[in-house]
A and B are shown apart, each in its own frame.
Chain A
Amino acid sequence: MSSPKPRRRSTSRAQQKSLKKPAIPLYVSAVAAGFPLPGDDAVEQTLSIDQYLVQNPVATFFVRASGHSMEGVHITTGDILVVDRSVSPKSGAIVVAAVFGELVVKRLMKKGSKTLLVSEHTDYEPIVVEDGSDCVIWGVVTGVVRKLA
């Protein structure tokens, strides 16, 4: 019963601290007397495509797509798919699923209480995901990477 108390106190202490102490930006060049370099008031930052594509590195895996293309979502053979296992799959999401022992890319559809794995191709029947069906959602595809040259 008394356990949340110390935590609440420590949170508020942390908040006070953050209020008192403003964030200090990191400048690129060493501080020197005299006229500052123009543009040096900008905080150092570079863009990283990793950061853009990967929200949760611990749960993110890269896989390579092969087979038919999914034109609706612009995925084609050779593409690297960014798969995040920590994202909960919503209806309409592109997912990697383990279907009868194979990793496949499908679109997830929720219809009422049913969860379906739908193919872009008419050759494949939709698969119902249920307990004990040997179909498991492996992760959600959150990005596609392709090199053009």
Chain B
Amino acid sequence: MKKSNAQSAFTGLVDCNNFFVSCERLFRPDLSHKPVLVLSANDGCVISRSKEVKDLGIPMGVPHFEIRDRIKAEGITVFSSNFALYRDISQRVMQTVRSIAPDSEVYSIDEAFFHVAQNDAEAVAHTIKQRIEQWVGIPVSIGVGETKTIAKHMGAFAKKHTGIAIISPEARRALQAASLREIWGVGRKTYEKLERYGVRTVGDVLRAGPVHMRTHLGILGEQLYFELVGVAATSKKMRTHHQSIMSSASFGKKVTGATTLEDALSYHVAQVAEKARQDEHVAHDISFSIRYEDADGATRIHTERVPLVPPTASTAHLTKVVLKAARPFFRNSFLYKKVGVVLSNMTTPEATTGSLFLDTDTTRSGDVLMKVFDAINTKHGRGSVRMATEQRTHAWKGKSGFISDAYTTSWTALPQVAIE
């Protein structure tokens, strides 16, 4: 019955420190140790802050216009989001993790979980941190524990203190005292519900036990108990591709005109379709949403989901489907505020069941077309070839007044180095 320690698997979380800021600093060594922040799409609000900006007390999510004066006074360097850069650097980080811990999964653009034998945890965590920082140049923190929830908690500790934090008897005592508010996956509503039963800390959950937790919160409560006690409860199934892919943006200004809406929808479809093809997946559903003011000035949202038969990742096919379904909303009397497109129910092309009515030859030639499409866009820059409905007038597109160059994705924007 005695379980060998060597066999027990630990989970680690690699988390890039203020990832977007770190990406911006990679080719700008003049900005290390200086206050830097990155704004969301449309230069709306703060989404990434350097330590110096955090120390100034500027909170996450604050609108740009509210802090204009402080930015000037403190000499903060501001960037618009440069997702082409962040995606490239993110892929490098993830591949580096995989080169050391093949059993890993991407959790977000700047986080990855990996699985490791308990005895190797410390060595592996150090190797991962050292290698990412040397190879890619992005600082990371690593937390390790029995489950994802504990790894996430240790990661938060590592970020503040030591860079790497591994669960230990001492850390476990601290964890028991921790408020559930600090625990991954416990939202405000869940917390309030548990508080009514006097369950406020991790220790309270452990004392309540799985049965009570299940009565309080259902299956989620039981899962939370096991995650905190150190038995992995979240699905162990590795997820290496996106379950769904979204692209959406508010318009920089309210726009009118059917062609502008068509342009914006086509743009977002092109974005999600390209990502799906990178994952080598096809979507079984596509949804779109349009937020607009109607002729009477009332704000409305229309959301619609269209099943895809056959499942596809072809920009041409998806554009046709979305524009057809959205046709009733192309009115010159409408003021458009925001559109978005989501691909969902993603699978590999092989996993799709064939249809009797399906002209497989057409899908095949579609695949070839999309391969050429992607090859040209990689070589000459995104948008070099596109559907005619995507006009790139970009009348709808928002501000990005402080964007850095596409350092790693365009030959014409490579970082400059001085020969001396």
Contact = CB atoms under 8 A, between A and B. Distances in A.
A123 to B, nearest CB: 8
Contact of A104 (B30, B92, B134, B420): B420
B352 to A, nearest CB: 25
B136 A63 contact: no
B4 A2 contact: yes
A128 B408 CA distance: 30
B169 interface: no
Interface in A29-73: 56, 58-59, 61-70
Given A56-B135, A85-B136, A63 B419 contact: no
A131 interface: no
Contacts of A2: 4, 6
Given A61-B408, A101-B30, A68 B417 contact: no
Given A64-B415, A101-B29, A102-B29, A124 B420 contact: yes
A47 to B, nearest CB: 18
A108 interface: no
Contacts of B230: none
Contact of B419 (A5, A62, A67): A67
Nearest to B120: A3
B189 to A, nearest CB: 41
B419 A105 contact: yes
B137 interface: yes
B29 A138 contact: yes
A40 to B, nearest CB: 24
Interface residues of A, number: 39
A48 to B, nearest CB: 14
B86 to A, nearest CB: 15
Nearest to B30: A101
Contact of B134 (A85, A101, A121): A85
A59 B417 CA distance: 17
A77 B29 contact: no
Contact of A85 (B120, B135, B419): B135
Given A2-B4, A2-B6, A98-B29, A65 B419 contact: yes
B29 A58 contact: no
B135 A65 contact: no
B27 interface: yes
Contacts of B137: 85, 138
A104 B92 CA distance: 23
Contacts of A64: 414-417
B403 to A, nearest CB: 19
Contacts of B420: 67-68, 104-106, 119-121, 124
Contact of A103 (B4, B135, B416): B416
Interface in B1-31: 4, 6, 27, 29-31
Given A85-B135, A86-B134, A136-B29, A68 B419 contact: yes
Nearest to B6: A3
Contacts of B411: 80
18 contacts: A58-B92, A59-B135, A61-B415, A63-B416, A65-B416, A65-B418, A65-B419, A77-B419, A80-B411, A81-B417, A85-B137, A103-B29, A103-B417, A103-B418, A104-B419, A104-B420, A106-B420, A138-B29
The list of the 4 closest CB pairs from A to B, nearest first, reads A101-B30, A98-B29, A59-B135, A3-B6
Given A3-B119, A62-B414, A65-B419, 18 more contacts: A3-B6, A56-B135, A58-B95, A58-B99, A61-B408, A63-B27, A64-B415, A64-B417, A66-B417, A81-B417, A85-B135, A86-B134, A103-B417, A104-B418, A105-B417, A105-B419, A105-B420, A106-B420
